[in-house]
Amino acid sequence: MMRGEQSVHTAEPNAEPIELDGEQMRMDALAESVFEVYLGTIRGTGLDITPTAPAAVDEAILGRVQSVLGATFLTFFGIAPAQRYADVFAQIADFATRFAKDHIFPDGNKRTAVKMSLAILKMRGWDVRACDASEPECNELYQWVQSIVTGRGSAEELAVFLREHAVWVG
């Protein structure tokens, strides 16, 4: 490295599963972030239900979001995330699968699942580089979430996709 240059990588790549046991505030913040991403996703696109969407976090919906997050990021039946998932990519693939299939919201579940999955990986230091074309047939992100909800693809296949397209940015 030349003098004055800084490394882009701030830490070693970390692909360990995320564990939020005992971190209720982080869990609550993550659930509220999902709700905010959802509201941002539906505004002006698809079935725009913004006028009928609750202004604040709806407790019933928040409970369903927390259920998906808990099953993914907390110890579940005595089994920690590090025991259930090979790496963070398998964990995020499971989260995306659960979220997209659970239909927590009236619209925007697949888009919210994609956005939150990419955001969580980004917070962990990974950037997923995939074709995000406007045409659905050329859009890799659309294709993977569609394959999940239609049953043509699995969480394991999504994990492989994420591993192959992720770049460590630190």
Question: Does residue 59 or residue 137 have the better pLDDT?
Answer: 137
CATH of the domain at 50: 1.20.120.1870
Mean pLDDT over all residues of the chain?
Answer: 87
Residue 56, domain member (yes or no): yes
Beta carbons of 27 and 69 less than 8 angstroms apart: yes
Q: What is the pLDDT of residue 58?
A: 75
**pLDDT for 89 beyond 90:** yes
Domain around 40: 24-168
Average pLDDT over residues 81-96: 98
Taken as a whole, the chain contains a residue count of: 170
Alpha helices in the chain (DSSP H): 24-42, 59-73, 81-84, 88-102, 109-123, 140-150, 155-165
Q: Does 14 fall in a domain?
A: no
Q: Is residue 5 in some structural domain?
A: no
pLDDT value of position 97: 97
| Residues whose CB is less than 8 angstroms from the CB of residue 43 and which lie 6 or more positions away in sequence, other chains included | 50
Report the C-alpha gap between 29 and 45 in whole angstroms.
25
Q: Domain count of the chain?
A: 1
10 domain-assigned? no
